[in-house]
């Protein structure tokens, strides 16, 4: 069960953030509305929300997930791979000191984004992407193994971040798309397979009793409900425009 989440209001500069998608410029009013609905959904899931104010100097900083990797015992402050995002970690480390005593840090030349890290029980999967390099992945693997977790490094072929294409629900069940459907590293898991036209829905998150899923992906929603989960649908259009998904908008612990 998660007790806490950290979220951060998107600033006006959000519309000028990094993106590889061709979906247009986000509408800031809608961004705020969609973010507020996300926070409300988190509250419905029974977590305490720590809500940070916007930082105009960091356009992508609402995607807090990339700044840290959290376990019940310790926090790892990442070293985000995009130069314009690197400074986001300073505020997050200060905030996490309210909750954690034990910290590790990913050091340059290693880079690592939290979006590349998927935890399945006591096993972490670490994606190597345009943001997370091999040095960063190896550092995190060593930290996790020193703390008695398992860790596997997974080089990505197509997805932006590891969690863009795979999420863990519970009871050995993952939701997965694209290159991860028949990936040998995930062969032992039961799978909900997201159809290609719904790929964005692979980034959903289980928060206590509910699976948060993006709105408008009916087949994936049905599969998740048929597997026995309650769902909350959230409009995510303005975050999808900036390559962000549901997991990216919070740190959960």
Task: Give the C-alpha separation, 42 to 213, whole Å.
Answer: 12
Residue 241 sits in the site that holds ligand CIR (CB under 6 A): no
Q: In the sheet that 230-234 helps form, which strands lie side by side, from edge to edge?
A: 205-207, 210-214, 230-234
Cβ closer to ligand CIR: 13 or 227? 13
Q: Which is nearer to ligand CIR, 71 or 227 (CB)?
A: 71
Active site includes 204? no
Cβ 93 to ligand CIR shortest distance, Å: 18
Q: Which of 196, 50, 176 is nearest to 118 (CA)?
A: 176
Smaller CB distance to ligand CIR: residue 110 or 244? 244
Please tell me whether residue 60 binds ligand CIR under the rule CB under 6 A. yes
| 161 classed as catalytic | yes
Site stretch for ligand CIR (CB under 6 A), options 57-65, 91-99, 187-195, 215-223: 57-65
Looking at 14-22, 37-45, 67-75, 182-190, which segment touches ligand CIR (CB under 6 A)? 14-22
Contacts 24+ apart (CB under 8 A), 127-130: 127/154, 127/155, 127/156, 127/159, 127/161, 127/162, 127/163, 128/153, 128/154, 128/155, 128/156, 129/81, 129/156, 129/159, 129/160, 129/161, 129/162, 130/81, 130/160
Residues sharing a CB contact under 8 Å with residue 128, sequence separation 6 or more, in sequence order: 116, 134, 137, 153, 154, 155, 156
CA distance 231 to 248: 18
Binding residue (CB under 6 A) for ligand CIR from 198, 233, 238, 243: 243
Residue in 35, 45, 204, 248 annotated catalytic: 248
Residues 122-161, one symbol each (x = binds ligand CIR by CB under 6 A, - = not), give: ---------------------------------------x
Residue 242 in the binding site for ligand CIR (CB under 6 A): yes
17 binds ligand CIR (CB under 6 A): yes
How many residues lie near ligand CIR (CB under 6 A)? Answer: 17
Nearest distance from C-beta of residue 113 to ligand CIR, angstroms: 6
Give CA–CA dist 247/230, Å, rounded: 17
Q: Is 38 in the site for ligand CIR (CB under 6 A)?
A: no
Q: In terms of CB distance, is 66 or 238 closer to ligand CIR?
A: 66
Q: How far is CA 166 from CA 177, 197, 219, in A?
A: 6, 15, 16
Looking at the annotation, which residues are catalytic? 161, 248
Footprint of ligand CIR on this chain (CB under 6 A)? Answer: 17-19, 60, 63, 65-66, 82, 85, 114-115, 161, 242-245, 248
């Amino acid at each position: 069960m998660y007790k806490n989440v950290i979220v951060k209001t998107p600033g006006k500069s959000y519309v000028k953030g990094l993106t590889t998608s061709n979906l247009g410029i986000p509408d800031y009013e809608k961004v705020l509305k969609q973010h507020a609905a996300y926070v409300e959904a988190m509250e419905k899931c029974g977590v305490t929300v720590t809500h940070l104010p916007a930082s105009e100097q960091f356009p992508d900083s609402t995607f807090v997930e990339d700044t840290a990797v959290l376990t019940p015992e310790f926090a790892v402050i990442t070293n985000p791979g995009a130069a314009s995002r690197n400074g986001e970690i300073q505020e997050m480390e200060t905030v996490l000191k309210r909750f954690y005593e034990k910290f590790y840090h990913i050091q340059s030349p290693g880079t690592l984004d939290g979006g590349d890290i998927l935890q399945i029980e006591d096993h972490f999967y670490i994606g190597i992407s345009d943001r997370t390099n091999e040095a960063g992945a190896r550092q995190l693997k060593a930290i996790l193994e020193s703390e008695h977790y398992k860790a596997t490094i997974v080089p990505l072929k197509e997805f932006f971040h590891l969690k863009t294409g795979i999420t863990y629900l519970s009871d050995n069940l993952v939701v997965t798309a694209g290159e991860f459907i028949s990936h040998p590293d995930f062969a032992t898991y039961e799978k909900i397979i997201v159809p290609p036209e719904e790929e964005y829905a692979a980034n959903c998150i289980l928060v206590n009793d509910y699976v948060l899923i993006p709105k408008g992906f009916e087949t994936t929603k049905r599969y998740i409900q048929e597997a026995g989960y309650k769902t909350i649908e959230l409009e995510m259009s303005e975050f999808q425009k900036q390559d962000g998904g549901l997991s990216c908008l919070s740190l959960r612990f």
